[in-house]
């Protein structure tokens, strides 16, 4: 794809346009297993085979291999947790400063927890308090070339069902 800003339209907008010949094909697979009554395992894997004939290389921004292994925890009706191990292979990218176009693969571990609080009456049926730790082991990596991802970080929030 190529961004063409010469197309007439609203000020500041352009149009994405296919140029040349390219293909993309692949396989996505997911498997689940119940380990214990309160614990399950999930494996998700994606294989992508891409080719940009005009540039004679893989399509930018698409890794060949990507996967996540998750341990899902449900110790009670109110508590839920998850541990994710994300792994992504290298990819070709469009760096902002014209440097090497290969972005190395990476792996990171994330944690997630949710506590469900049910209100008796009132305007809200449920309120869930959620927390997520991303990049638990503070790995240095880039999801896109030239843009470092944050190190260890914590997100807290609430979900309200009305």
Contact predicate 46/67, CB 8 Å: yes
Would you place residue 39 in the very low, low, confident or very high pLDDT band (cuts 50, 70, 90)? very high
pLDDT tens-digit map of 71-101: 999 999 999 999 999 999 999 888 777 777 8
Specify the pLDDT at position 7. 53
Distance between CA atoms of 52 and 23, rounded to whole angstroms? 7
Dist CA 85 CA 81 (whole Å) = 14
Q: Are 135 and 155 in contact (CB under 8 A)?
A: no
pLDDT digits (tens, 9 = 90+) for 93-104: 887 777 778 889
Measured in degrees and rounded to the nearest 5, phi and psi for residue 139 equal -75, 145
The pTM for the full model equals 0.78
Is the separation of the CB atoms in 28 and 45 below 8 Å? yes
The C-alpha atoms of residue 61 and residue 144 are separated, in whole angstroms, by: 7
pLDDT at 140 over 80: yes
């Amino acid at each position: 794809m190529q961004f063409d800003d010469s197309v007439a339209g609203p000020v500041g907008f352009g149009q994405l346009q296919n140029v040349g010949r390219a293909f993309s094909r692949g396989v996505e697979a997911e498997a689940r297993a119940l380990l214990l009554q309160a614990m399950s395992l999930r494996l998700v894997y994606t294989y992508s085979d891409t080719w940009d004939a005009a540039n004679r290389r893989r399509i930018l921004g698409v890794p060949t291999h990507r996967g996540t292994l998750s341990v899902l925890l449900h110790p009670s009706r109110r508590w839920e947790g998850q541990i994710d191990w994300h792994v992504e292979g290298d990819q070709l990218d469009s760096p902002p400063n014209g440097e090497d176009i290969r972005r190395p693969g990476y792996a990171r571990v994330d944690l997630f927890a949710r506590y469900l609080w049910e209100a008796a009456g009132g305007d809200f049926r449920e309120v869930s308090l959620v927390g997520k730790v991303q990049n638990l082991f503070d790995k240095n990596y880039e999801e896109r070339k030239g843009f470092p991802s944050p190190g260890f970080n914590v997100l807290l929030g609430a979900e309200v069902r009305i």
